[in-house]
Amino acid sequence: MTARRIAVVTAGLSNPSTTRLLADRLADAATRGLVEAGESVEVDVFELRDYAHDVTNNLLTGFAPPALASMIDAVTSADGLIVVTPIFSTSYSGLFKSFIDVIDPDALTGMPVLIGANAGTARHSLAIDYAIRPLFAYLHAEAISTGVFAASSDWGGTEDGAAQLASRIDRAGREFAAAVARRERKAAVDLWDPASFLGEGRSFGHLLGGLAGE
Amino acid sequence: MQFGLFTVSDVTEDPTTHRTPSEAERIQDVLTIAQHAEEVGLDVFALGEHHNPPFFSSSPTTTLAYIAAKTENLILSTSTTLITTNDPVKIAEDFAMLQHVAGGRVDVMLGRGNTGPVYPWFGQDIRQGIPLAIENYNLLHRLWREDFVDWQGEFRMPLQGFQSTPRPLDGTPPFVWHGSIRSPEIAEQAAYYGDGFFANNIFWPKEHYQRLIEYYRRRFEFYGHGTAAQAIVGLGGQVFMNANSQDAVRQFRPYFDNAPVYGHGPSLEEFTEMTPLTVGSPQQVIDRYAAMRDHFGDYQRQLFLVDHAGLPLKTVLEQIDILGGEVVPQLRKELAQNRPAEVPDAPTHAARVAANARGELPVAGGTLEREATATASTASTASTGSAFGPAATKGN
């Protein structure tokens, strides 16, 4: 059986990045979950920082430069997607949203998505649910119910009454792995196969026939 | 092989002088540009269609009729005519009229358009873009080939015994190019009718257009119109030249950097690498465009965009001088070399009239019996097919 492919998109702007750190933890947890379910896993991690200029260029010209195009291909054809964004002004970062904006709005339909977010203080901890989750609802992605928010203090392991970051990551990873494992393997759709829009064995005359009400 | 210009008809500020030409001035400039294209020996002038500022070209056949009167050999075309929001009856009439006025020097490029609001402005729904393109062209194709048309579709009032006038010149409709930058459906449509396929080839990397054109060629062959190599392909392109390539880059950069369509985005160098935009010496342009056949196969028409982004008329005319004087003659030679005999010439009215007399114009859906052998659901389309098939072509 072919490996499940997980794409990780992380929108941290600095290097090294705490957002990336969270992304790696989530990817590890998802991998553990899938391996326990008997799947083999491949993980591709993309830092949006590396694509920031390409994303802007795409917004202005309408087409993705080659590096961004192949990254978008990898993301939209994955079996599951892990996204992690820093929280800026109570929401996802502008770069993260710009990346979403250059993807075909139908490309993430049905995709299991694990949402992570990272901010300086716990005051932003609801941003996942009021800002990021609606975005993926709009895209018809299957965002799993547990999102993982990490504030700076979480990395010190302070006991503040909520579950420890590590256990939240573990739980989210398991839920995400289960969603990916449940998902049927996608048959690759070849846009350049006439059957994909004409129907198997049909010609353009079929499209004309449909329009004539037949 | 035909070479020419295509314009998007934008009215844009010159970023080096901060002067914006008036609409009146820019319209006169484009008329001058078209006439100059003929003077330097180019074959084609094509004009876009837009219904919103900063573009002036809402009425291409009016503009092209004037140019027809001022020229003798130039082929007049569009880039593109909106098949989705224009009434196909009016397209049939306007372009047949233009054919008569221009003595046959007319073809047309159809496209879906790239301005979303144009659909509601003309009472259409953008979500129906592809179905509109399919249905409207089907009617247009019939109106030019059948003297009296009975027709009923989804998007337009039915027609009973309708005859569009004037009839196409010499009973031979204008050649049609289907322009597309992303939809395989449109490449399929071009192949189905045995029409030409034009790839804009300006904004996106060549790999994208390669897929579209390969698809079109493969399907052209599938429908029995000829081999894949015999399909009729046109390409856009974009150049800016100076004898000294450094000067070309220095001159063009402010226009590129501020162009409404890609300004403030990728650098001139990045864009040059990703797309066919070539800024440099005439020889660099010759080398880049002589290699197009390696990417897309031997093709029939090459159009260049040279007059946008606020470039002043004087500069544009100089560019056309370089194209006509140095670049195109050399490209004609290079693209003729080792061109396989089976590759057809670019379409002209005279050649199409002759082909029509021999009964050799392509027939919609090809000459294959494929539909008849298909399943019940497609069998019903066979009757639709025959209505604009061989019998219809003989109607002329």
Residue A1: per-residue pLDDT: 67
Can you tell me the distance from the alpha carbon of B363 to that of A205, in angstroms, rounded to the nearest whole number?
12
Residue B151: per-residue pLDDT: 93
* Range(s) of the domain holding residue A121: 4-207
Mean pLDDT of chain A: 91
A212, part of any domain: no
Q: Which two tokens stand for residue B144?
A: 């030019």
pLDDT in tens, A159-194: 665 668 999 999 999 999 999 999 887 666 777 888
A52, part of any domain: yes
Distance from B284 to chain A by nearest Cα, in Å? 23
CB–CB of A209 and B378 under 8 A?
yes
pLDDT in tens, A115-161: 999 999 989 999 999 999 999 999 999 999 999 999 988 888 666 65
Mean pLDDT of chain B: 91
Closest Cβ opposite residue B135 in set A203, A204, A211:
A211
A21, part of any domain: yes
A213, part of any domain: no
SS3 (DSSP) at A68: helix
pLDDT in tens, A1-42: 689 999 999 999 988 899 999 999 999 999 999 999 999 999
Can you tell me the distance from the alpha carbon of B224 to that of B218, in angstroms, rounded to the nearest whole number?
10
Q: Which residues of A touch B154 (CB under 8 A)?
A: 211, 213
Residue B319: per-residue pLDDT: 98
- Which residue, chain included where needed, has tokens 């078209």? B34
**pLDDT band, very low/low/confident/very high, at B378 (cuts 50, 70, 90):** very low
Distance from A82 to chain B by nearest Cα, in Å? 28
Using a CB–CB cutoff of 8 Å, tell me whether B165 touches chain A: no
Percent of chain B whose pLDDT exceeds 70: 92
Mutate to test the interface with A, among B268, B384, B388 (most CBs of A within 10 A): B384
A65, part of any domain: yes
Using a CB–CB cutoff of 8 Å, tell me whether B270 touches chain A: yes
pLDDT at B228 over 50: yes
Residue A142: per-residue pLDDT: 97
Number of A to B CB contacts under 8 A, please give it: 96
A95, part of any domain: yes
In sign, the C-alpha dihedral spanning A25, A27, A33, A36 is negative
CB–CB of A203 and B266 under 8 A?
no
pLDDT in tens, A78-94: 999 999 999 999 999 99
Can you tell me the distance from the alpha carbon of A125 to that of B296, in angstroms, rounded to the nearest whole number?
53
- Section B233-256 average pLDDT: 97
**B160-166 contacts at long range (C-beta below 8 A, 24 or more positions apart):** B162/B89, B164/B89, B164/B92, B164/B93, B164/B96, B165/B93, B165/B96, B166/B93, B166/B96, B166/B97, B166/B100
Residue A214: per-residue pLDDT: 38
Task: Please report the ipTM that was assigned to this predicted complex.
Answer: 0.82
Best mean pLDDT range from A145-159, B357-371, B380-394: A145-159
CB–CB of B382 and A205 under 8 A?
yes
A107, part of any domain: yes
**How many domains does one find in chain A?**
1
Q: What is the pTM of this model?
A: 0.89
Distance from B67 to chain A by nearest Cα, in Å? 32
Residue B208: per-residue pLDDT: 86
Closest Cβ opposite residue B265 in set A61, A209, A212:
A61
Give which of B95, B49, B123, B55 is closest to B308, Cα–Cα: B55
- List residues bridging with A7 in a β-sheet: A44, A81
Q: Which CATH number fits the domain that encloses residue A31?
A: 3.40.50.360
CB–CB of A203 and B371 under 8 A?
yes
pLDDT in tens, B90-147: 999 999 999 999 999 999 999 998 788 999 999 999 999 999 999 999 999 999 999 9
pLDDT at B61 over 70: yes
Percent of chain B whose pLDDT exceeds 90: 86
Domains along the sequence of chain B with CATH: 2-392 (3.20.20.30)
